[in-house]
Amino acid sequence: MLILRRLRRIIPALIVAVILAAGSAVGPAMADELDDAKASGLVGETFRGYIAPVGDPTPEISALVERINAGRRAKFEEIAADNDISMDQVELLTGQRVLERAAPGTYIMDPSGAWTQK
């Protein structure tokens, strides 16, 4: 029960972390690049709070995915350490929120690995 209260309290922090990791923490140009890649259907959001290529990625898309996910992972590790919870919990909660807030048309991956368009 205590962990559920703690998780509910940190959900807003998770959203902020994802925004920072996807945006200003990696630079405005990369945030624009990510937005363009999502809008083009080249990358999508996963249920674990990371992005992944949709289909066969170009080297540029693979590099973008690696950079964005490294930033997100670093933020997730901070949140997990600061709140004494597991990375798994942080990833799953963030993934849930990111998928809920994904823009219409964004590709989202479910736990089975299947892509759907929101």
Residue 25 lies in a domain: yes
pLDDT confidence bin for 56, thresholds 50/70/90: very high
Reported as a single tens digit per residue, the pLDDT across 13-49 is: 666 555 555 554 455 566 688 989 999 999 999 999 9
Domain range enclosing 55? 2-42+49-103
Kindly report the three-state secondary structure assignment for every residue of 16-81.
HHHHHHHCCCCCHHHHHHHHHHHHCCCEEEECCCCEEECCCCCHHHHHHHHHHHHHHHHHHHHHHH
Q: Is the pTM of this model over 0.85?
A: no
Tokens of 2: 């205590």
The 10s digit of each residue's pLDDT in 81-97 is 988 889 999 999 889 88
Q: Which amino acid is at 68?
A: I
**What letter would DSSP give residue 113?**
S
Question: Residue 113 domain-assigned?
Answer: no
Split into its structural domains, the chain has a count of 1
Residue at 14 is within a domain: yes
Domain for residue 12, yes or no? yes
Closest CA to 108 of 40, 116, 100: 116
